[in-house]
């Protein structure tokens, strides 16, 4: 039997009914065309794989130089961590804190939540302790600035290239890979699919937990 859910469009606030989807299908808002839900084939394996890969390349990004700048015979290189430290060093403490939180800590926390949630749902299990991380996962999405940071760095490099010789290190390319993998991991966790599966699992296990 097909199940439908009432979903409000985040873009135009139109309330619409979204039926159960099969892999490859998308549900769009009837008014503005915003994608309300998408169904992937084995989405939790997909999300888990992208999340683990994202954490691996982020570790690589922390391990190598991010970029080096040469001007007037002086060369200066920095790592990803140093890009944040330099902000603090030059008096931008508030920006340094914001970059640390929204560019690094929040995305890493989201990936950890995705791995835990995807592991549980793929095994057709759900522990009540995962309820809070599930809610936070979708709330934090608006605060993860991974792609904003990547675009900002690219724009800055274009301007710097006119004044100095800029060399991109392995960390830069690893962070770009992290950005893409992070977006793929989160997009694999369709909100409606996740909550439908949680409801199905908890409904199925509730009678068993009440047996003596």
Q: What is the pLDDT of residues 57-76, one digit of tens each?
A: 999 999 998 887 877 777 77
Alpha-carbon distance 181 to 173, whole Å?
Answer: 12
Whole-number Cα distances in Å, 111 to 25, 119, 141, 174, 185: 25, 12, 11, 16, 8
Closest CA to 140 of 84, 175, 102, 178: 102
**94 with 101: CB under 8 angstroms?**
no
**Residue pLDDT, tens place only, 123-170:** 988 888 899 999 999 889 888 889 998 898 888 888 777 777 888 889
Listed range (8-12, 22-26, 152-156, 161-165) with the worst mean pLDDT = 161-165
What is 139-189 written as a DSSP string? HHGGG--HHHHHHHHHHHHHHHTTTSEEEE-HHHHHHHHHHHHHHHHHHHS
pLDDT bracket for residue 205 (50, 70, 90): low
Question: Around Cβ 137, how many Cβ atoms within 10 Å?
Answer: 22
């Amino acid at each position: 039997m097909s199940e439908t859910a009432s979903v409000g469009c985040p873009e135009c606030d139109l309330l619409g009914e979204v039926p159960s989807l099969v892999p490859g299908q998308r549900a769009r808002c009837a008014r503005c065309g915003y994608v309300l839900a998408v169904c992937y084939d084995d989405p939790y394996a997909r999300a888990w794989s992208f999340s683990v890969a994202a954490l691996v390349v982020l570790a690589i990004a922390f391990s190598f130089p991010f970029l080096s700048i040469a001007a007037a015979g002086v060369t200066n290189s920095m790592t990803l961590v140093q890009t944040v430290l330099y902000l603090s060093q030059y008096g931008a403490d508030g920006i340094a804190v914001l970059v640390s939180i929204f560019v690094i800590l929040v995305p890493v926390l989201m990936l950890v939540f995705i791995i835990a949630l995807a592991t549980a749902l793929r095994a057709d299990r759900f522990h009540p302790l995962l309820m809070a991380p599930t809610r936070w996962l979708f709330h934090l999405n608006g605060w993860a600035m991974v792609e904003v940071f990547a675009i900002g760095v690219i724009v800055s490099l274009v301007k710097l290239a006119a004044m100095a010789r800029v060399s991109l290190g392995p960390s830069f390319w690893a962070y770009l890979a992290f950005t893409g993998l992070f977006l793929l991991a989160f997009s694999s966790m369709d909100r409606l699919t996740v909550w439908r599966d949680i409801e199905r699992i908890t409904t199925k296990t509730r009678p068993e937990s009440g047996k003596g």
